[in-house]
Amino acid sequence: MKESLDSRLSGNDGGGALPNGLPRPEGELEALQRAWEPPTGWRRFSAVNNTQIGLYYLLTALLFFVGAGVLALLMRAQLAAPGNTLLAAGTYNQLFTMHGTVMMFLFAVPVVEAIAVWLLPNMLGARDLPFPRLSAYAFWAYAFGGFAFFCTIFFGASPDGGWFMYPPLTGKEISPGIGADWWLLGIGFIEISAIAGAIELIVGVLFTRAPGMRLRDMPLFAWATLVTALMIAFAFPAIIAGTLLLELERALDWPFFVAARGGDPLLWQHLFWFFGHPEVYIIFLPAAGMVSMMVPALARTRLVGHGAIAWALVGVGAISFLLWIHHMFTAGLGPLALVLTSIASFAVAVPSGVQVFSWIATFRAGRVKGDTPTLFLLGFHFIFVLGGLTGVMVAVVPFDWQVHDSYFIVAHLHYVLIGGMVFPLFAGLYYWAPLIRGRRLSERVGRWSCGLMFVGFNLAFFPMHLAGLAGMPRRVYTYDAGLGWTPWNVLATAGACVFAAGAALSLAHLARTALRPQGEHDNPWHAPSLEWLPQAAYGTRSIPQVRSAYPLWDQPDLAREVEEGRHWLPGSVFGGRETLVTSPWRGEIRQLLRLAGDGWWHFVAAAGTAGFFLLLTVSRYLPAIACGLLAIAAILAWVWQLDRPPPAATARIGDGVHVPTFAQGRAAPSWWATVILVAVDATIFTALAFSHLHVSMKLDVCPPPGARVPGGGAWAAALLVAASLALAWAVRRPLQGGQGWLQLAWLVAGVCVLGAFGIDLGAHIGAGLSPTHHAWGATVAALLGWQGLHVFALLLMGSYVLVRSLAGRLRPDARATLDNCTLFWHYAVVQGIVVIALVRLLPEWMGG
């Protein structure tokens, strides 16, 4: 009997009995509908359903796409003729900075997260992703901050240092205005939003797949999303660290990038491009995942090389972190770095090529019709391959030296990003549009749009290759007649207008269709993936049990069976929102997960987060602190409602099948979310530590004259170890009965951590630490400040655990708060010890 149950839980019953032998009663469906009833009117802002939030996300990202496109048209109008005076130099600099920033930070990355949040729950066969309020928080923080940042263009307060913000041009001396601060602080919390979304996506893909959906059979869009979200978790921290350092330099005169005081402008380039080059693939890989989902459906055959594409996605993601020096070939680095990066630049073409040849082979093997998604995908192939070829060209170091600051690079960048992301995006809009309102988009409109966009794009950007080879530098707002650049710029401006007309045609038609009455659910492409099952606000009527990578093709009765409630969890066990947790590798059922419902705290927290960063930008410090405290209070109120004991220890999810309703430690999705958060935090710290190493390695003597290495490190480290040991002892004890021992352990740990930080900080002050005198002192102060932020976070977490314990909220069946806070506490202790050791031992190692 146990063997049979294990087989059913893993989805490997060979196609035998269904989880529920008979269609389920209507009463279960009504309970499900009540639990997932979407809010209406102004209460829509409280919604947390990921499918709904994903559509909000998508709409907002497309609005930013339109806004950035308008800025691009103004730039092209300025460059259409030599000596044009339509835009002043300062205005043009603001426009091209905002165009690049909005496209990269407010459109490209958010739109791929939006599509993932929208499609993945249904594509994975889940009712929702595991942390719906986290997704909602990420969206609202992005929306509030993004619109505020974009509106700076209307007040002349926009940044003008380029979307890459290179110092010293963006330092306080050359850029004294507020524009650079808008970029640094505004982009900072948008990055936080992206990381929050990435945590949700990673845990969702690994733990909420349909029973029986093994990792190797997972939809390739889910593979692409998983790789992309992991890349966000490890790439975005570098730019967070960089923006933090540059803002500290501007606000407090800490000279991280000031060469005259021991800083190095190249440090910014290392931090920025360690994020910036993976970001290209963060944008491309989800688009590639969408292509891999659409191609088999449009070709009406299985994808050639499904497993090879999954490995190719992983390969591209891994190699992308070796390529940041690709953008620094002209920065004067050593020959070894240039050669190794050039080799990696060639190598990344191999897994990318695997995907392209797989798609071509699938089209060749299938029966392809000239539908609009197919036309967009064919355009994508042509444009992206051409962009890849020019990418191989600029991987050749001597060639890159010739074209690095020319319009050739502008052309290459747009061929890769627009060809690699925008064309698949528009293909996806036409392909998945029936999931929005049950209606396909017009084929006639789609064909016109695709034709205009394809012709307009190539007319706009191919001439830029020639202009660049003819010597036209990028980032110029005008040029003289007689240089031979005028014909190419005229063609580029005309092409940009044609491309914009094609994109506007599709977007207007999409908006018109979305406003029409709801149509019937349909699968017009006869696609094989689960998002085409009949859907409602709660997802599918029951959670399907699958046996392959093409469930709707291999299980032809699946849609009917799911709609009849004959698969897993056909109702709401406890009257709320629920889904299943499955194992990461084999898709075996592990737990019933109760999901958070609609609410307002995530909305308040997002508004407070946005207010904190935006008010800091305009030097309104007291209101900024108030908004920060509001955000913290809202987050605490939000999580207070979670980690509640279940009504029963097990839940019936099918005939004779009961599963646990809670998990602890490594079995809990929230524990793994904390692990990812720790990884993000550790990567930010690594970037700050790298900055200290970079500055120190440039010194003749470390520490520099006038600075001293502090003492007291051993005592501080001993206190940190004591704090960690106290908690390690406490959390291993059972939670039944009184919890005085637990409360005492957290108090002792808090006192130890605070005392260790006080000893370390006092030692540095006693040694005469001066962050403004030299970059070495500034990096030490940055490390201390980062650790101080963690001390504040640990004290806040400790207080929260104590309050939950005193309120009786910590129980054996509700201990996620304890497990997760303890995990983060141990990491912060290790980080503190590393800070102590790094500052004190590095000068000794360098012979200082």
Per-residue model confidence as pLDDT tens digits over 234-271: 999 999 999 999 999 999 999 999 999 999 999 999 99
Per-residue model confidence as pLDDT tens digits over 58-85: 999 999 999 999 999 999 999 999 999 9
In angstroms, the CA 493 to CA 480 distance is 17
What is the average pLDDT across 681-692? 97
Cα dihedral value 616, 620, 626, 630, nearest 10: -40
Q: What are phi and psi of 127, to 5 degrees?
A: -70, -35
pLDDT at 847: 65
Angle at 759 between CA 754 and CA 761, to 5 degrees: 90
Whether residue 400 contacts residue 488, with contact meaning beta carbons closer than 8 Å, is answered with no
Q: What are phi and psi of 543, to 5 degrees?
A: -80, 120
The residue type found at 181 is D
Cα dihedral value 539, 540, 545, 547, nearest 10: -80
Sign of the alpha-carbon torsion through 165, 167, 168, 174? positive
Q: Work out the mean pLDDT of the chain and round it to a whole number.
A: 91
pLDDT at 12: 47
What is the average pLDDT across 831-837? 91
Sign of the alpha-carbon torsion through 240, 246, 248, 254? positive
pLDDT at 741: 79
* Measured CA distances, 131 to 49, 50, 121, 616, 673 (Å): 10, 9, 12, 29, 9
- Identify the three-state secondary structure at position 578: strand
Q: Transcribe 230-291 into DSSP letters.
A: HHHHHHHHHHHHHHHHHHHHHHH---TT-GGGT--HHHHHHHHHHHHHHHHHHHHHHHHHHH
SS (H, E, C) 679-735: HHHHHHHHHHHHHHHHHHHCCCCCCCCCCCCCCCHHHHHHHHHHHHHHHHHHHCCCC
Per-residue model confidence as pLDDT tens digits over 193-230: 899 999 999 999 999 999 999 999 999 999 999 999 99
pLDDT at 1: 35
Using the predicted structure, report yes or no on whether residue 553 has a pLDDT greater than 80.
yes
Residue 793, CB-side half-sphere exposure with 13 Å CA sphere: 18
Of 692, 706, 708, 694, residue with least CA distance to 780: 692
Using the predicted structure, report yes or no on whether residue 356 has a pLDDT greater than 80.
yes
Sign of the alpha-carbon torsion through 495, 497, 502, 507? positive
Contacts of 62 (CB under 8 A, 6+ apart): 107, 111, 507
Per-residue model confidence as pLDDT tens digits over 504-545: 999 999 999 888 877 777 899 999 999 999 988 888 889 999
Q: Using 50, 70 and 90 to split pLDDT, how confident is the model at 8? A: low
Cα dihedral value 493, 498, 502, 503, nearest 10: 10
In angstroms, the CA 836 to CA 359 distance is 52
Q: Both tokens of residue 589?
A: 């059922």
Q: Using 50, 70 and 90 to split pLDDT, how confident is the model at 674? A: very high
In angstroms, the CA 93 to CA 78 distance is 12
Q: Pairing between strand 589-594 and 650-654?
A: unpaired
pLDDT at 5: 46
Strands (E), 715-813: none
pLDDT at 2: 42
Q: What are phi and psi of 725, to 5 degrees?
A: -65, -40
Using the predicted structure, report yes or no on whether residue 673 has a pLDDT greater than 60.
yes
Least confidently predicted of 33-47, 452-466, 790-804: 33-47
Of 453, 458, 290, 448, residue with least CA distance to 372: 448
Please give the model's pTM, rounded to 2 decimal places: 0.95
Per-residue model confidence as pLDDT tens digits over 94-140: 999 999 999 999 999 999 999 999 999 999 999 999 999 999 999 99
Place of tokens 């729950």: 121
Query: What is the DSSP secondary structure assignment for residue 536, as one 8-state letter?
Result: B
Q: Both tokens of residue 163?
A: 């979307």
In angstroms, the CA 570 to CA 20 distance is 9
pLDDT at 124: 96
* Measured CA distances, 407 to 122, 160, 242, 466, 675 (Å): 43, 19, 27, 8, 43
In angstroms, the CA 268 to CA 256 distance is 9
Q: Using 50, 70 and 90 to split pLDDT, how confident is the model at 186? A: confident
Query: What is the DSSP secondary structure assignment for residue 209, as one 8-state letter?
Result: P
Sign of the alpha-carbon torsion through 738, 740, 743, 745? negative
Query: What is the DSSP secondary structure assignment for residue 421, as one 8-state letter?
Result: I
Q: How many CB atoms lie within 10 A of CB 836?
A: 24
What is the average pLDDT across 551-565? 93
Q: Pairing between strand 657-660 and 650-654?
A: antiparallel
Using the predicted structure, report yes or no on whether residue 14 has a pLDDT greater than 80.
no
Q: Both tokens of residue 446?
A: 């789609």
Place of tokens 């200082």: 848
What is the average pLDDT across 640-650? 91
